[in-house]
């Protein structure tokens, strides 16, 4: 009996520790950690880069090595561009959570993604199975901050024709989270550093019914090249252009390296000049790769701090977040869809492709095992979509569930119907602790 009690007490303690980080939610056009405004202070983290694809979250030793630098820099978030969904990530995710660090995750890999040259063919059931497997794997972690449904798929005017497929993927991920009763991790898109159609893409991802809209929007921005300023860089005009936007907005990459980087933009990004619209950003990038943007040089178990590391640390150390709510837009809400004006915005309808028929089963059965980096790829595999979804139909959810929730309603706020209260292990832990304490005394919980 005593052994069983001790085991139960250990389970209580383990469960309490596992639930030790507060999930990030959306209110209006901002992120929140509980009732406190949350600003992303992070870096893009993919040691090896695109030339040597590796999963840093599956590498527990490398992850723990780098967490020490993350803490020294004062980071609260890292972005990872590709993970191997056939591997286990518990150890690194727990280590990040213990350090108070969240993950923004791209669900695609080089072999499983929407092909801008042929988006219709690449939006298929094999692709969706892969990304759903990744989502199912990482939604269980309370420190998964957000999922990117795509990164720079649209990089000029003609490629904007792929936008409906990017938006459909975003819709499908959100529907999958609901159907599988997983935590509603925010889902959005990371846009390229182009002014051709950045604003139109932002508007497009926030128009239509609630089942079609994103939870946030992000873009890569290298327009501030030191020495510069809020006005010289043009960031003041971007704030003006996005004022009133109903979703959280942040920089998924920043840190121009044309000149010596002093990260002067940090003081503006976390000031009330910008926090009414922006929720921080992610510096490109942590490790030195061929593009020479690195903060550190990694050599096995050793990490060498480069000049940019010291510059970023100094910039973060002297820049505090604004007091209070940072003047965020608490109402949020949808905007009208942008009108077609080819060649810069070549989308002539608000309609989205329906989820491919063979992929519907994942909503009820789950995605199953991921194929990982060794998978055959999806761009020319599987069954593509053969129908158009009716706005608000919840067509990406089987009929038994599509009539529930707010999928068929028009948004009245950026957080409308998105975030059911997160029910983790804390209530169960508290109840178990109360019972144990009552029966056997408080000292039992210290076993």
Q: Do 256 and 226 meet the contact criterion of CB atoms below 8 Å apart?
A: yes
Question: Out of 253, 265, 285, 289, which one is annotated catalytic?
Answer: 253
| 203 annotated active-site | no
Q: What CA–CA distances, in Å, run from 282 to 41, 42, 143, 167, 236?
A: 6, 4, 16, 23, 19
The backbone region for 266, taken as left when phi is positive above 0, alpha when psi lies in -120 to 50, beta otherwise, is: alpha
Q: Could you tell me where the beta strands, DSSP code E, fall in 202-277? A: 216-221, 249-254
Q: Using the structure block, give the residue that is written with the tokens 């920043």.
A: 254
Q: Is the peptide bond before 93 cis (omega within 30 degrees of 0)?
A: no
| 200 annotated active-site | no
Distance of CA 39 to the CA centre of its chain: 13
CA pair distance 277, 145, nearest whole angstrom: 19
CA pair distance 429, 19, nearest whole angstrom: 9
Phi, psi of 278 (to 5 degrees): -100, 150
Q: Using the structure block, give the residue that is written with the tokens 């694809």.
A: 53
Q: Give the pairing of strands 77-80 and 249-254.
A: unpaired
Question: Out of 91, 152, 305, 412, which one is annotated catalytic?
Answer: 152
Q: Do 345 and 157 meet the contact criterion of CB atoms below 8 Å apart?
A: yes
Rounded to the nearest 5 degrees, what angle is found at the Cα of 138, between the Cα atoms of 134 and 143? 150
Q: Using the structure block, give the residue that is written with the tokens 């304490």.
A: 437
- Record the tokens describing residue 225, joined without a space: 């090249």
CA pair distance 212, 334, nearest whole angstrom: 11
Nearby residues of 200 by Cβ (< 8 Å), 6 or more positions away: 160, 338, 344, 345
What own/partner pairs with CB < 8 Å and gap ≥ 24 does 317-320 have?
317/74, 318/267, 319/266, 319/267, 319/270, 319/271, 320/270
Buried-state track 105-130, b at ≥16 Cβ within 10 A, e below 16: bbbbbebbbbbbeebbbbbbbbbbbb
CA pair distance 379, 111, nearest whole angstrom: 7
- Record the tokens describing residue 108, joined without a space: 């695609």
CA pair distance 375, 381, nearest whole angstrom: 12
Q: Which residues is 410 bridged to in the sheet?
A: 209
Residues with catalytic roles: 152, 253
């Amino acid at each position: 009996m005593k052994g069983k009690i001790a085991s139960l007490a250990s389970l209580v303690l383990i469960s309490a520790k596992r639930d030790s980080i507060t999930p990030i939610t959306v209110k209006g056009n901002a992120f929140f950690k509980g009732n406190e405004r949350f600003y992303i202070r992070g870096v893009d983290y993919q040691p090896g880069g695109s030339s040597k694809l590796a999963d840093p979250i599956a590498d527990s030793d490398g992850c723990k090595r780098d967490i020490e630098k993350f803490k020294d820099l004062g980071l609260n978030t890292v972005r990872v561009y590709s993970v191997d969904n056939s591997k286990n990530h518990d150890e690194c995710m727990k280590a990040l959570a213990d350090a108070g660090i969240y993950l923004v995750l791209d669900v695609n890999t080089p072999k499983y993604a929407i092909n801008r040259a042929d988006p219709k063919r690449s939006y298929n059931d094999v692709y969706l199975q892969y990304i759903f497997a990744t989502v199912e794997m990482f939604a269980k972690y309370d420190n998964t901050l957000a999922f990117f449904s795509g990164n720079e798929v649209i990089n000029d005017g003609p490629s904007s024709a792929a936008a409906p497929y990017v938006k459909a993927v975003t819709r499908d991920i959100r529907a999958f989270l609901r159907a599988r009763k997983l935590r509603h991790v925010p889902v959005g898109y990371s846009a390229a550093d182009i002014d051709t159609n950045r604003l139109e893409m932002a508007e497009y991802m926030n128009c239509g019914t609630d089942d079609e809209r994103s939870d946030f929007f992000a873009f890569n921005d290298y327009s501030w090249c030191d020495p510069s300023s809020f006005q010289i860089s043009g960031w003041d005009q971007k704030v003006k252009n996005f004022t009133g936007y109903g979703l959280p907005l942040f920089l998924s990459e920043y840190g121009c390296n044309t000149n010596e980087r002093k990260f002067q933009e940090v003081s503006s990004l976390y000031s009330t000049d910008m926090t009414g619209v922006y929720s921080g950003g992610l510096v490109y990038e942590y490790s030195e790769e061929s593009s020479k943007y690195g903060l550190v040089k990694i050599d096995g178990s050793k990490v060498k701090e480069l000049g940019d590391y010291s510059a970023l640390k100094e910039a973060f150390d002297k820049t505090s977040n604004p007091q209070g709510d940072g003047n965020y837009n608490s109402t949020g809400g949808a905007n009208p869809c942008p009108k077609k004006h080819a060649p810069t915005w070549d989308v002539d309808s608000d309609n989205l492709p329906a989820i491919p028929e063979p992929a519907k089963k994942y909503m009820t059965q789950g995605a199953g095992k991921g194929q990982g980096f060794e998978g055959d790829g999806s761009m020319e595999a599987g069954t593509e979509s053969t129908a158009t979804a009716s706005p608000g139909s919840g067509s990406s959810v089987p009929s038994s569930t599509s009539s529930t929730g707010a999928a068929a309603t028009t948004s009245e706020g950026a957080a409308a119907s998105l975030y059911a209260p997160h029910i983790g292990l804390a209530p169960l832990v508290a109840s178990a602790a109360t019972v144990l304490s009552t029966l056997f005394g408080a000292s039992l919980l210290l076993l």
